[in-house]
Amino acid sequence: MKIAVVGTGYVGLVTGTCFSEMGVRVTCVDVDERKIEALNKGIIPIYEPGLETLVHKNMKSGRLHFTTSLEDVINDVDIVFSAVGTPPDEDGSADLKYVLDVAHTIGKHLNHYIVVVTKSTVPVGTASKVKTVIQQELNQRGVDVEFDVASNPEFLKEGNAVKDFMSPDRVVVGVESERARKLMARLYKPFMIVSDRLIFTDIPSAEMIKYAANSMLATRISFMNDIANLCELVGADVNMVRKGIGSDTRIGKKFLYAGCGYGGSCFPKDVKALIKTAADLGYPMRVLQAVEEVNADQKLVLYRKLVDYYGRDKSQLKDKVIALWGLAFKPETDDMREAPSLVLIDLLLEAGATVKVYDPVAMEECRRRIGDRVTYCTDMYQAADGSDALMLVTEWKEFRMPNIDTLLHKMRGRLILDGRNILDGEELKLAGFEYHCIGK
């Protein structure tokens, strides 16, 4: 089988690479010439565990190719995946510009039957728009070519993307023809050897499943953050509460961790988009509005704790040196889209503090985003060196057991703010630090 994957970002590159690993001949397409040029040289534009090895292996085997020209490959494939970005528009709705651009290109060049599969996260009704655009282009050319559209939302997690794609909890495919269903079932067959986790639905349901899933996960996080903030007021410990409720099988243990807010390329924009879709139809998504509000506020929590420490006087932050451990929105990725670190950096700089940062992989990405407004450090202890306070923002493994003697020796102040509840507070307090975390 031959496929093309359009959009070679986190989702497209992982999708294309994993299909090629299963024996499919894949061409990844992107409009970004520099990205494609780099990939053709074996340079991977993102950090994702295990991805680089797989890309190199499958390029070498001749199953994985990269190009900027969709028109060159469109008539040599059975399926085209569209995995381009769907960033939020100004009003919060998903911007479908790139998705529809791809549909136009397909319609302009298609000469044989294919299935056009949308993998990007798109609002209900998008596959139908894609179909209309392709058909209009075909009509304009005066050609009669059969094609199907399908929806195959992606559930991979950045930082674990290859594993998630290779062993998915489920694969959701929305189809409207038996021919497309059969082709998609064949494509995913190698992933279903151990157990069949392929769920076929109608197209609107597949499109909705992705938004509902991300909104549910974001809701769990905001709910736990709300509970954590209340725990602080009533003298309870959110970690104990988490264990106590997570052991109820109806609730489950995952995604119940309090912290300094969720970020990333998906939750914030997908929650916004679902609220907007509903609002356009005259229905207010009250729960999700609260989820967003709690999250925006939670990104300020570490800053508020810092200001409280200095007598609730933000002017005290002037000339203080604050170390930030972690920049990426979560561990095992260099993605900083909507990361809480960005909010904190802005607030700290605005208050006149000097900010020293360290992240195992997101330093370049941070520099690309905010330039030299902060001091980039080569390791976590260099960031702590001379700092008045330390904020742990991303729960990278290497931050879990810091050398306390080194911290005592290097830090000027004694305040540690743990935004992910991963440090041993008792040990730090015994050593003389003032330790604060979330929900305790």
Ligand X SMILES: NC(=O)c1ccc[n+]([C@@H]2O[C@H](COP(=O)([O-])OP(=O)(O)OC[C@H]3O[C@@H](n4cnc5c(N)ncnc54)[C@H](O)[C@@H]3O)[C@@H](O)[C@H]2O)c1
Report whether 392 contacts 419 (CB < 8 A).
Answer: yes
Q: What mask of x and - would describe binding to ligand X in positions 125 to 144, judged by CB under 6 A?
A: --------------------
Q: Is 266 in the site for ligand X (CB under 6 A)?
A: yes
Q: Which of residues 22-61 bind ligand X (CB under 6 A)?
A: 29-32, 35
Q: Is 12 in the site for ligand X (CB under 6 A)?
A: yes
Q: How far apart are CA 187 and CA 11, in angstroms?
A: 17
Distance of CA 351 to the CA centre of its chain: 29
Residue 164: half-sphere exposure toward Cβ, Cα within 13 Å: 14
Residues 6 or more apart whose CB falls under 8 angstroms from that of 320 comprise 310, 352, 353, 354, 388, 389, 413
* Among 71, 79, 84, residue whose Cα is nearest residue 148: 79
Segment contacting ligand X by CB under 6 A, of 98-106, 241-249, 317-325, 344-352 = 98-106
Q: Is 267 in the site for ligand X (CB under 6 A)?
A: no
Say how many Å lie between the first and final Cα of the chain, rounded. 54
The Cα-based distances of 426 to 84, 297, 396, 430, 431 in angstroms read 47, 27, 20, 6, 9
Q: Is 156 in the site for ligand X (CB under 6 A)?
A: yes
Segment contacting ligand X by CB under 6 A, of 36-44, 126-134, 154-162, 243-251 = 154-162
* Among 330, 394, 331, residue whose Cα is nearest residue 357: 394
* Among 200, 210, 205, 5, residue whose Cα is nearest residue 121: 210
Shortest approach of ligand X to residue 148 CB, angstroms? 20
Locate 111 and state its tokens.
């000469």
Query: Which residue among the candidates 18, 231, 260, 266 is catalytic per the annotation?
Result: 266
Nearer to ligand X, 174 or 439 (CB): 174
Q: Name the closest residue to ligand X (Cβ).
A: 9
In degrees and rounded to multiples of 5, residue 386 shows phi and psi of 75, 10
Nearer to ligand X, 154 or 226 (CB): 154
Shortest approach of ligand X to residue 250 CB, angstroms? 26
Alpha helices (H) along 235-314: 238-246, 267-280, 286-298, 301-309
Nearer to ligand X, 232 or 359 (CB): 359
Segment contacting ligand X by CB under 6 A, of 5-13, 221-229, 254-262, 343-351 = 5-13
Nearer to ligand X, 118 or 225 (CB): 118
Q: Which of residues 63-92 bind ligand X (CB under 6 A)?
A: 83-86
Nearer to ligand X, 9 or 402 (CB): 9
Tell me how many degrees the CA angle 364-370-375 measures, rounded to the nearest 5. Answer: 70
Q: How many residues bind ligand X (CB under 6 A)?
A: 26
Q: Residue 437 catalytic? A: no
Shortest approach of ligand X to residue 355 CB, angstroms? 27
Nearer to ligand X, 211 or 257 (CB): 211
Q: Is 10 in the site for ligand X (CB under 6 A)?
A: yes
What is the binding site for ligand X (CB under 6 A)? 6-12, 29-32, 35, 83-86, 98, 101-102, 120-121, 154, 156, 158, 265-266
Give the residue numbers annotated as catalytic, written as ranges.
266
